[in-house]
Amino acid sequence: MQELVRKALSGDTRSIARIITLVENESPYTEEIMKTLYPHSGKAHIVGITGSPGSGKSTLTDKLIHEFKEKGNKVGVIAIDPSSPFSGGAILADRIRMQKHAVDRNVYIRSMGSRGSLGGLSKSTYEAALILDACGKDIIFIETVGVGQSEVDIMKIADTVCLVLVPGMGDDIQIMKAGIMEIADIFIVNKADREGVERVVAEVKMALDLVQKRSWIPPVHSTIAEKGNGITELAASISNHHEFLSISTEGLEKRRNRLVTEVEEILQREIARFTEEKWNQKKTPELIDSLYSRNTDPYTVAGRILEEVLLEN
Amino acid sequence: MFDKTQLEEIEKLKHSYEKALEKSLPKGPERKSEFKTVSGIPVKRIYTPEDLTDMDYCHEIGFPGEYPYTRGVQPTMYRGRLWTMRMYAGFSTAEESNKRYRYLLSQGGSGLSVAFDLPTQIGYDSDHPMAQGECGKVGVAIDSLADMEILFDQIPLDKVSTSMTINAPASVLLAMYICVGEKQGVSSDKLAGTIQNDILKEYIARGTYIFPPKPSMRLITDIFEFCSKNVPKWNTISISGYHIREAGSTAAQEIAFTLADAIAYVEAAIKAGLDPDVFGKRLSFFFNAHNSFLEEVAKFRAARRMWAIIMKNRFGVSDPKALTLRFHTQTAGCTLTAQQPENNIIRVALQALSSVLGGTQSLHTNSMDEALALPTEKSVGIALKTQQIIGYESGVTDTVDPLAGSYAIESLTNEIQMKAEEYISKIDEMGGMLTAIEKGYVQKQIQDAAYEYQKAVESSEITVVGVNKFQMKEEERDFQLLRVDEKVGHNQIEKLKKLRSGRDNLAVREALEDIRQASRDTSVNMMPHIINAVRCYATEGEICGVLREEFGEYTENIVL
Amino acid sequence: MTHEKIRVIVAKPGLDGHDRGAKVIARALRDAGMEVIYTGLRQTPEQIVDTAIQEDADAIGISILSGAHHFYFSRIIELLKEHEALDIIVFGGGVIPDDDVPALLAMGAGAIFGPGTTTTTCVDWLKSKVHEKRTLEMA
């Protein structure tokens, strides 16, 4: 295992790919891998790209890859597509629009199925980003599932969140209502050759005036990703935000908060593992029967399980 | 179509017929609990005048050569002239294909249909890295006018009509054809034929696109305009349902999406200032002849009626020639089986018959070995003879639209029309075909149908003789497959080298720069500029290369 | 190891645009619980192999109807060898004459599924092949 991790750290693509799989599959090696890699991480700029389906996230990502690669960066991409709730399988097709970078040694693209996770990411997205970070990528783009309204998880793991909107899709207002305005650091109005761009830009600016003032004022970019229009400016904003994070207190807060969240999430996951195990042992039809007949209640049952777990550990 | 007393009597008789069945069915049940066409339309046990009570003969069926053209586009149909027996062919080099064309013409084929290899269809020269391994494989490799001159060597362009399956770079190949005509001394107004030129179905189903929709639509309307003035006998587009069906759609989807594509082209041309009464006459269509015989006949009739109504009501067209849907048919490649390939001859014959009974203007019959490889000369010969037997021996051509008035056929015609109209209104609601494609709606509908079909075959709900029923244990194949020489690519590359060193390269550079400038100004028609470049032997890849730089390239929209 | 998802690349190499088969098989593999990385049309062998490596795929499935199968299979397998990634299973389908199949198998293709193959046949084959491969890797 150490050999695999060592090769990954030296930038070997196959090894990087393999350890992401191990972590994604929650293999017993996960902890060892993450512990070894952790000291090497913390250097990359993690950028989230979120927005509704059809807003052009993949095409934008494709152009951004190009832009950052040209500046000498090593680029990582994680693209998440939904897994089927029925079969657990998934069709991961985001990379179609990025395939011209497939053979580029300085670009690594990884597709992930959401595997039951809500919130626009998959359970292991953060770990995958950390792995890429530790293995030398300078900037990592995370393209979320893109279901629109519930995609707040990206805020927890990305340094910079870009929200993509499109004129005339009708969902923009929904997004603004849903509180996603607050999570975005950069707004992108893509497909700006369509009618109604000015309106969307004005609406976003207006809405931004209403939300709490921050020291970072999110810029609003118009782009036509398909033609590459507005991408250079967008890339500059992304770099500016990175710069801002590294010198401002807000940025420091953000990174420190993320560490707190990280520990909390590991704790939750570990505790969940124990309780789940115990619950699976106890989950007899008889117990459900007595719940059903109201001889006992879920609170008492849960309390008892928790007690046992605590006693055993 | 029937008076009230008649209908009452029919209803009474039907009632007693069903009563009697109730008794006999338990003893002798039907083969299936439900009968369906291959597209999933339920088929009734019996159709009667009751199914057509609302039918208005004069306005909905009418007479051949008259609105709404349900019974055919010409007054006498095949009593006047049979359909054009047009066999799609082309492989390897221009020399090889030229030989095959002359063979087909000598065997009584009445028109040519050129298959191009994939690099040609996607605007790459044979020496482009993407062309590696593909030259001459699914069609003939054409890089420049020099190849085109060989392709039509000793074939008089004023005597044959030529159909070319070319879409994204259609203007370049049409330009080459015009230039070959010039060299033969045939002026462009005498040229007859068709270019497929249907980019929308490439995005939907066939995949040989190059440019994004907007500039692609411009290239198409430029051709419409240019040809109406200079190549008046040319069919400027062949709006194709064939590939939509091959990709797995149902019959109703096939005509719905094809007509919706057609609507988008007409709208684009009107927007470009063209008159639908003029360019409408040069629109042609291309459909698939699939397995469900009755459904297919009904489909062709429904498509013809729907198009006349669309052109008249939506676009205010009045010229009868612009109201008629003239179409080419090809039997369904996707129904051919690799198992017991000889069975394909019979499949093809039945499919071909459905298209004749549906009133096709031209027909390609597939060869029995096409699920395995490109067809050999022998198998192509059998396929062509199949058409001749239908045309000259079967007698179905002696009366016009012989299945009209069949309760089943008229009912199915109505039903398919209704289903297709539903799809078209849905697409209208979305804002038209371009938006529907962008959203992946059309692609998704087709893929869903394809997946359903596959599952139906795997569960034996649909029978495929020789595949999921009546299989043979050991199959012996006693016929040869056609193989394309791997050297074709090399030879083409050598030819290109020679061409590039022998031509006036200054003139080529200027012509290409001229195309670049023209591409930037949408008020300019691209055609004359492309013809000019072709004439000085600029290659197809060079011309498309400039356009790629100017227009960008399309990336497919996957919705699975 | 059964909880490990099977990851498979489905690609259309070359210029051929007939993707009905590729899409049907992609859906069937998805419905069998696999993660399918669908790369779409016009893929070069280099793109396909690099994608398989970045995605840590167990297998590559390619669909070819243009007659260029010999070229694409040999190139893809050659590239896998260069990357020391021959453990990645390569299989395919499309219009491939029976007579050509032995040569493709000898090259290292795992299986060729001709016209008329059921999706179940293909899914079952892939499952057992991946299982075999993983057992081997464990040992």
Are residues B419 and B534 located together in one domain of the fold?
Answer: no
- Hey, is the C-beta of A102 within 8 angstroms of any chain C C-beta? yes
Banded model confidence at residue A306, pLDDT cuts 50, 70, 90: very high
Are the Cβ atoms of A90 and C85 closer than 8 angstroms?
Answer: no
Banded model confidence at residue B475, pLDDT cuts 50, 70, 90: low
What does the pLDDT read at residue C2?
40
Give the Cα separation of C125 and C113 in Å (integer).
10
Choose among B223, B219, B261, B221: nearest CA to B242: B261
- What is the arithmetic mean of pLDDT over A250-259? 87
Give the closest-approach CA distance of A91 to chain C in angstroms: 5
Give the Cα separation of B200 and B257 in Å (integer).
10
Per the CB < 8 A criterion, the answer to whether C8 and C91 are in contact is no
Give the Cα separation of B533 and B527 in Å (integer).
10
With respect to residue B362, please indicate whether it lies within any of the assigned structural domains: yes
- Which of B438, B555, B558 is most worth mutating to test chain A (most A CB atoms within 10 A of its CB)? B555
- What is the arithmetic mean of pLDDT over B230-238? 96
Query: What is the interface pTM, i.e. ipTM, of the complex?
Result: 0.94
Residues A265-280: tens digit of each pLDDT: 889 988 888 899 899 9
- Hey, is the C-beta of B438 within 8 angstroms of any chain A C-beta? yes
> Residue C105 corresponds to which tokens in the numbers above?
């198998």
Residues C58-104: tens digit of each pLDDT: 999 999 988 889 999 999 999 999 999 999 999 999 988 888 999 99
Are the Cβ atoms of A226 and B212 closer than 8 angstroms?
Answer: yes
Domain span(s) for CATH 3.40.50.300 in chain A: 41-247
Cis peptide before B169 (omega within 30 of 0): no
- Hey, is the C-beta of A102 within 8 angstroms of any chain B C-beta? no
Residue B525: φ, ψ to 5°: -80, 125
What does the pLDDT read at residue A116?
84
Residues B180-201: tens digit of each pLDDT: 999 999 999 999 999 999 999 9
- For residue B552, give the nearest of A54, A91, A226 by CB distance: A226
Q: Which of A181-195, A266-280, B266-280 reaches the highest mean pLDDT?
A: B266-280
> Residue C31 corresponds to which tokens in the numbers above?
């419905």
- For residue A14, give the nearest of C38, C44, C53 by CB distance: C53
Per the CB < 8 A criterion, the answer to whether A80 and A109 are in contact is no
DSSP conformation class of B117: P
Give residue for tokens 């993450």: A34
Are the Cβ atoms of C23 and B133 closer than 8 angstroms?
Answer: no
Are the Cβ atoms of A59 and B555 closer than 8 angstroms?
Answer: yes
- What is the arithmetic mean of pLDDT over A201-220? 83
Say yes or no to pLDDT of B210 above 70: yes
Choose among B339, B248, B243, B291: nearest CA to C115: B339
**Chains touching A (3+ CB pairs < 8 Å):** B, C
Say yes or no to pLDDT of A204 above 60: yes
Per the CB < 8 A criterion, the answer to whether C7 and B235 are in contact is no
Are the Cβ atoms of B247 and C20 closer than 8 angstroms?
Answer: yes
Are residues B528 and B408 located together in one domain of the fold?
Answer: no
- Which residue in chain B has the smallest CA separation from C74? B133
Are the Cβ atoms of C40 and B558 closer than 8 angstroms?
Answer: yes
- What is the arithmetic mean of pLDDT over A201-214? 79
Chain C environment of A23 (Cβ under 8 Å) = none
Beta bridge partners of A160: A47
What does the pLDDT read at residue B343?
95
In chain A, positions 5-64, which contact chain C (CB-CB < 8 Å)?
A: 13-14, 17-18, 20-21, 25
Per the CB < 8 A criterion, the answer to whether B237 and B226 are in contact is no
Residue A289: φ, ψ to 5°: -60, -45
Are residues B14 and B118 located together in one domain of the fold?
Answer: no
Residues A120-143: tens digit of each pLDDT: 898 899 999 999 999 999 999 999
What does the pLDDT read at residue C79?
97
Say yes or no to pLDDT of A211 above 80: no
DSSP conformation class of C7: E
Say yes or no to pLDDT of A170 above 80: no
Are the Cβ atoms of B374 and C19 closer than 8 angstroms?
Answer: no
Are residues B70 and B13 located together in one domain of the fold?
Answer: no
With respect to residue B557, please indicate whether it lies within any of the assigned structural domains: no
- Hey, is the C-beta of A168 within 8 angstroms of any chain B C-beta? no
Give the closest-approach CA distance of A238 to chain B in angstroms: 26
- Which of A27, A33, A99 is most worth mutating to test chain C (most C CB atoms within 10 A of its CB)? A99
With respect to residue B270, please indicate whether it lies within any of the assigned structural domains: yes
Tell me which CATH code domain A41-247 carries. Answer: 3.40.50.300
Other CB atoms within 10 A of residue A300 CB: 10
> Residue B193 corresponds to which tokens in the numbers above?
């034929």
Residues A29-68: tens digit of each pLDDT: 999 999 999 999 999 999 999 988 888 899 999 999 999 9
Are residues B370 and B507 located together in one domain of the fold?
Answer: no
Banded model confidence at residue C138, pLDDT cuts 50, 70, 90: confident
Tell me the percentage of chain B whose pLDDT exceeds 70.
Answer: 99
Chain A environment of C36 (Cβ under 8 Å) = 89-92
Chain B environment of A61 (Cβ under 8 Å) = none
Are residues B292 and B179 located together in one domain of the fold?
Answer: yes
Are the Cβ atoms of C24 and B137 closer than 8 angstroms?
Answer: no
- For residue C38, give the nearest of A20, A93, A110 by CB distance: A93
What does the pLDDT read at residue C1?
38
- In DSSP notation, B238-267 reads EEE-HHHHHTT--HHHHHHHHHHHHHHHHH
Give the closest-approach CA distance of B231 to chain A in angstroms: 35
- For residue C33, give the nearest of A88, A93, A108 by CB distance: A88
- Which of A21, A91, A122, A131 is most worth mutating to test chain C (most C CB atoms within 10 A of its CB)? A91
Burial zone of A274 (CB within 10 Å; 0-12 exposed, 13-18 middle, 19+ buried): middle
Other CB atoms within 10 A of residue B456 CB: 15
> Residue B155 corresponds to which tokens in the numbers above?
């074939």
Banded model confidence at residue A210, pLDDT cuts 50, 70, 90: confident
- In DSSP notation, B208-222 reads ---S-HHHHHHHHHH
CATH code where residue B172 lies: 3.20.20.240
- For residue C119, give the nearest of B133, B374, B458 by CB distance: B458
Per the CB < 8 A criterion, the answer to whether B42 and B82 are in contact is no
- Hey, is the C-beta of A59 within 8 angstroms of any chain B C-beta? yes
Q: How far is CA C13 from the centre of its chain?
A: 11
Question: Which domains occur in chain C, in start order?
Answer: 7-138 (3.40.50.280)
What does the pLDDT read at residue A231?
96
Give the closest-approach CA distance of B555 to chain C in angstroms: 9
Task: Say which residues have a Cβ less than 8 Å from residue B276's Cβ, sequence separation at least 6.
Answer: B266, B269, B270, B311, B315, B316, B317, B322
Give the closest-approach CA distance of B58 to chain A in angstroms: 45
What does the pLDDT read at residue B472?
83
Q: What is the mean pLDDT of chain B?
A: 94
Are residues B95 and B24 located together in one domain of the fold?
Answer: no
| Amino acid, single-letter form, for residue C76 | I
Choose among A77, A66, A134: nearest CA to A108: A77
Chain B environment of A59 (Cβ under 8 Å) = 555
DSSP, collapsed to helix, strand or coil, labels residue B108 as coil
Choose among B395, B341, B332, B393: nearest CA to B363: B332
Give the closest-approach CA distance of B558 to chain A in angstroms: 7
Are residues B197 and B102 located together in one domain of the fold?
Answer: yes
- Which of C9, C37, C134 is most worth mutating to test chain A (most A CB atoms within 10 A of its CB)? C37
Residues A293-304: tens digit of each pLDDT: 999 999 999 999
Are residues B541 and B402 located together in one domain of the fold?
Answer: no
Choose among B538, B5, B516: nearest CA to B215: B516
With respect to residue B541, please indicate whether it lies within any of the assigned structural domains: yes
Are the Cβ atoms of C30 and A87 closer than 8 angstroms?
Answer: yes
Give the closest-approach CA distance of C30 to chain B in angstroms: 10
**Chains touching B (3+ CB pairs < 8 Å):** A, C
Per the CB < 8 A criterion, the answer to whether C8 and C35 are in contact is yes
Give the closest-approach CA distance of C22 to chain B in angstroms: 11
Residues B7-19: tens digit of each pLDDT: 999 999 999 999 9
Chain A environment of C83 (Cβ under 8 Å) = 14
- Which of B138, B202, B457 is most worth mutating to test chain C (most C CB atoms within 10 A of its CB)? B138
Chain B environment of C35 (Cβ under 8 Å) = none
- Hey, is the C-beta of B270 within 8 angstroms of any chain C C-beta? no
- What is the arithmetic mean of pLDDT over B97-122? 90
Give the Cα separation of A78 and A141 in Å (integer).
6
In chain B, positions 308-347, which contact chain C (CB-CB < 8 Å)?
A: 334, 336-339
Give the Cα separation of B122 and B139 in Å (integer).
12
Cα dihedral value C21, C23, C26, C30, nearest 10: -130
Chain B environment of C25 (Cβ under 8 Å) = none
- In DSSP notation, B352-369 reads HHHHHHTT-SEEE---TT
> Residue A158 corresponds to which tokens in the numbers above?
């990305």
What Å distances lie between residue B216 and A237, B265, B340, B422, CA to CA? 34, 11, 42, 27
Are residues B19 and B72 located together in one domain of the fold?
Answer: no
Task: Say which residues have a Cβ less than 8 Å from residue A260's Cβ, sequence separation at least 6.
Answer: none
**Chains touching C (3+ CB pairs < 8 Å):** A, B
Residues B126-177: tens digit of each pLDDT: 999 999 989 998 899 999 999 999 999 999 999 999 999 999 999 999 999 9
- What is the arithmetic mean of pLDDT over A280-293? 93
Choose among A55, A48, A51: nearest CA to A148: A51
Banded model confidence at residue B476, pLDDT cuts 50, 70, 90: low
Domain limits at B523?
503-551
Are residues B282 and B429 located together in one domain of the fold?
Answer: yes
Interface of C with A (CB under 8 A): 3-5, 7, 26-27, 29-40, 43-44, 46-47, 50-51, 53-56, 83-85
Residues B419-461: tens digit of each pLDDT: 999 999 999 999 999 999 988 999 999 999 999 999 999 999 9
What does the pLDDT read at residue B370?
87
What does the pLDDT read at residue A171?
55
Q: pTM score, two decimals?
A: 0.91
Residues B330-387: tens digit of each pLDDT: 999 999 998 999 999 999 999 999 999 999 999 999 999 988 888 888 999 999 999 9
- What is the arithmetic mean of pLDDT over A238-253? 92
- Which residue in chain C has the smallest CA separation from A102? C47
What does the pLDDT read at residue A147?
65
DSSP, collapsed to helix, strand or coil, labels residue A290 as helix
> Residue B345 corresponds to which tokens in the numbers above?
């001859």
- In DSSP notation, A33-83 reads HHHHHGGG-S-SEEEEEEE-TTS-HHHHHHHHHHHHHHTT--EEEEEEEPP
With respect to residue B440, please indicate whether it lies within any of the assigned structural domains: yes
How big is the B-C interface in CB pairs under 8 Å? 103
Residues B42-77: tens digit of each pLDDT: 999 999 999 999 899 999 999 999 999 999 999 999
What does the pLDDT read at residue B478?
63
Are residues B319 and B391 located together in one domain of the fold?
Answer: yes
Are the Cβ atoms of A59 and B556 closer than 8 angstroms?
Answer: no
Are the Cβ atoms of B555 and A227 closer than 8 angstroms?
Answer: no
- Hey, is the C-beta of A103 within 8 angstroms of any chain C C-beta? yes
Number of domains in chain B: 3
